Amino acid sequence: MALLLDTHFVFGLVGAPMWLSRAQERFLEDHEDPFVVSAVSLWEIRLKWNAFSRVGARKGPAGPEEVLEVLRNRQVVLLSLKPEHAAATLSVPLAHKDPFDELLLVQAQVEGHQLLTRDKLLRNHPLAQAI
């Protein structure tokens, strides 16, 4: 089963390791099959890049164009957001209301993937694999 990367793993994959633990970095390095990266994560990355903290720092470590360029040079599968994804109902609803988490899980459900995450709010979801 293919692994769809949650956004923080996308940051780690493209060279922002401070977003991941050493064990998570090793998992990305040692995993042999290509990862799947969603356009939804790129959208979330764009929103973080364009948002600033109170001290003026960007909320994301890399811009979406830079991330996309790195991803295109890596062995990943890029997944578009399809109408079927947007219309699908998540089989096991989320307890929280993060639209990015919900869209990524719906994509995992429709495409037959698992969402690789470190998000504590997703750890027990049947479509998520937490490390």
pLDDT at 124 exceeding the cut of 70? yes
pLDDT band at 95 (very low <50, low <70, confident <90, very high): confident
Instruction: Supply the pLDDT for residue 17.
Output: 64
Handedness of CA 93, 107, 23, 11 (dihedral sign): negative
Domains of the chain: 3-130 (3.40.50.1010)
User: What 3 state SS string does 4-66 have?
Assistant: EECHHHHHHHCCCHHHCCHHHHHHHHHCCCCEEEEHHHHHHHHHHHCCECCCCCECCCCCHHH
pLDDT at 15 exceeding the cut of 90? no
In terms of C-beta distances under 8 Å and separation of at least 24 residues, what long-range contacts does 82-91 make, across chains too? Answer: 82/110, 84/110, 85/110, 91/127
